[in-house]
Amino acid sequence: MKGIHGGDVYRNSVNMDFSININPLGMPEEVEAALHKAVKSCSQYPDIKAEKLKKALSSVLKVQEAYLLFGNGASELFLGIVHAIKPKKTLIPIPSFYGYEYALEAVDSNIIYFQLKEDKSFLLDESFFEILTEDIDLLFLANPNNPTGKLMAREYIKKLLDICKDRKIWVVLDECFIEFCENAFSILTEIDSYENLLLVRAFTKIYAIPGVRLGYLVCSNKGILEKIKKQLPEWNISTFAQEAGLACVNQPSFIAKTVDYVKKERQFLIYQLNQLGFKTFPSEANFILLYSEKPLYETLLKRGILIRDCENFRGLSKGYYRIAVKTRKENERLVKAISEVYGKE
């Protein structure tokens, strides 16, 4: 059975992994150096409050330190949020990241799904507002969405949040991929206006450190932050994660370089895949959703290339695949492997 997440290189013979959406530029050298240095502190407990990291990140994000809460990846924060809120009824647009559903299963929330339409480019529209009824306790959203790579416009986000605020609906906004996107609007700049907003990001994808596990929550509602904090283990942020995080927040040029690189390689991949006859969907993130009637997952896995089969994404069916944007050399090898099998059909 195919896994519910990408990156399962432990149970597959893989030379290139296009199933996980991490930065193709790899981990910054400064972050790697910080991880090596952190070994010397392993005989001590990590700072239980992660104060240095909190101070550095609040300065970069321009938010109060009291608005920040760190987690062992975004996944731990999703679990902490649902255990704190205990939503009876939750709304999730689909297709989207399975991690939201996984967290909600732990509290037996009644999940309502809203199907995004392919003919509307998998984008939310104003029809979504009609089901934001007052009996909804919690809404999970992603900007950009995974696996579609679509961003919501500023005006839409603000209107949606205003409606949810008026109807007392908590909103978890997953921005784990937003730093890959060119000219993306983040509601982070207006976090004080929405006490019902729980904005989640992670260092995992943009800094290529999924093995370190470090995510963070931004919220202006200190009461709910305290409740969420009580759901998390003590010392949940390791010394390695704290030192890596400190090195990450001091890399402003790295993100700008990443955005330019990803845009160029995404355009290259989309063009090449379209030339080979595959249906691709416009993306603003570091991954591409495509449709193929050909068994692409199995064919590429035989050649040591792992992509994400999206058949088990709720809201998608057989034939949808997600491909991460990687380096030009890797992207060319992927295109070559596909063309060798299907290029002459």
Which domains does the chain carry? 16-26+253-342 (3.90.1150.10), 29-250 (3.40.640.10)
Instruction: Provide DSSP, 41-74.
Output: GTTSPPPTT-HHHHHHHHHHHTS-GGGEEEESSH
* Residue-wise pLDDT tens digits, 151-161: 999 999 999 99
Q: Is the pLDDT of residue 8 over 60?
A: no
CA 43 – CA 60 distance, rounded (Å): 30
Q: Are the CB atoms for 173 and 180 separated by under 8 Å? A: no
* Region 307-316 average pLDDT: 96
Closest CA to 215 of 189, 244, 190, 195: 244
The pLDDT value recorded for residue 12 is 65
Distance, in Å, from the CA atom of 275 to the CA atom of 270, rounded to the nearest integer, reads 9
pLDDT of residue 2 exceeding 70: no
- pTM across the whole model: 0.94
Averaged over 93-121, what is the pLDDT? 97
Given this model, what pLDDT does residue 4 score? 53
Confidence at residue 251, expressed as pLDDT on a 0 to 100 scale: 87
pLDDT at position 80 is 99
pLDDT tens track for 228-258: 999 999 999 999 999 999 999 988 899 999 9
